[in-house]
């Protein structure tokens, strides 16, 4: 006859695993399956929101710049003096292409056209009781009385015939204003005359910001101290040559 079992030595029966009711999944398994999907969904939604935000900002920038561009040209005093700066359109790229291909004859031909166009601009200023401020390459600046501004469009046609390309011109009461107006003309699509007004810097910076570029007004202000006009014309010319 076998001895009775010690209660402490009773067989340990394995505990049954928790049963999940039919149609349900353990919460841990749900988290494992849904967690990564939720993270991916968050990333997708975040990307969509960012894209919409950028599109909205771009649309607002376009609207503001169109409103600024629609402003009337400033009223000019008859005896007032203005700085007029010019920059040939696309001609620099033409020179670069000729240089990269080693086409000596083409380089010489394009350079000659550039010099002719710039000389014609300076002469236009002198013929209108103006003064040469600076010239170099496809850029130049003159100081002329307001009456001369009526002939800017005629000069642009002359320039196109001489150089076989268009030209962008900026007009301002100071050297920095003239340069900023010209840069804005380039950003608007080139081949135009821009008169500096109270909205010029705002539009200039909005257009540059939309391109993710440096604030142009700040860059110019660092290179040109206002109210020094003719004395710094050479400094400006040297700065532009180094910036290109």
Indicate the domain borders of the chain.
81-243
For the segment 43-70, what is each residue's pLDDT rounded down to a tens digit? 787 778 777 777 776 666 666 656 555 5
Average pLDDT over residues 64-84: 68
Per-residue model confidence as pLDDT tens digits over 111-141? 999 999 999 999 999 999 999 999 999 999 9
Using alpha carbons, select from 97, 23, 84, 71 the residue that is nearest to residue 203: 71
- Per-residue pLDDT of 144-158, as tens digits, reads 999 999 999 999 999
**Comparing 44 with 93, which gets the higher pLDDT?**
93
68, 77 Cβ separation under 8 angstroms: no
Nearest to 220 by CA among 186, 173, 181: 181
Q: Strand 167-172 and strand 193-195: pairing?
A: parallel
Q: So what's the architecture of 81-243 in CATH?
A: 2-Layer Sandwich (3.30)
Mean pLDDT over 211-229 rounds to 52
Mean pLDDT of 82-94: 94
Higher pLDDT, 238 or 79: 79
Q: What is the pLDDT of residues 20-45, one digit of tens each?
A: 555 555 555 656 667 676 777 777 87
Residues 6+ apart with CB under 8 A from 140: 85, 86, 118, 121, 122, 132, 134
The pTM for the full model equals 0.60
């Amino acid at each position: 006859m076998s001895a009775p079992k010690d209660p402490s030595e009773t067989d340990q029966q394995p505990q049954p695993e928790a049963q999940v009711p039919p149609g349900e999944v353990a919460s841990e398994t749900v988290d494992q399956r849904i967690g990564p999907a939720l993270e991916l969904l968050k990333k997708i939604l975040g990307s969509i929101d960012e894209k919409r935000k950028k599109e909205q900002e771009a649309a607002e920038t376009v609207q503001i710049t169109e409103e600024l561009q629609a402003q009337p040209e400033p009223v000019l005093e008859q005896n007032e003096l203005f700085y007029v700066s010019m920059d040939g359109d696309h001609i620099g790229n033409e020179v670069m292409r000729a240089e990269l291909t080693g086409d000596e004859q083409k380089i010489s031909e394009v350079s000659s056209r550039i010099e002719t166009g710039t000389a014609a601009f300076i002469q236009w200023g002198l013929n209108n009781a103006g003064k040469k401020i600076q010239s170099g390459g496809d850029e130049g600046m003159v100081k002329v009385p307001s009456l001369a501004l009526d002939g800017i469009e005629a000069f642009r046609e002359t320039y196109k015939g001489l150089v076989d390309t268009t030209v962008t011109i900026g007009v301002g009461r100071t050297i920095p204003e003239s340069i900023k107006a010209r840069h804005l003309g380039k950003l608007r699509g080139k081949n135009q005359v821009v008169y500096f007004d109270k909205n010029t810097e705002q539009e200039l910076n909005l257009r540059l910001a939309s391109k993710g570029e440096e604030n142009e007004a700040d860059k110019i202000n660092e290179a040109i101290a206002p109210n020094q006009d003719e004395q710094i014309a050479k400094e400006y010319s040297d700065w532009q040559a180094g910036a290109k």
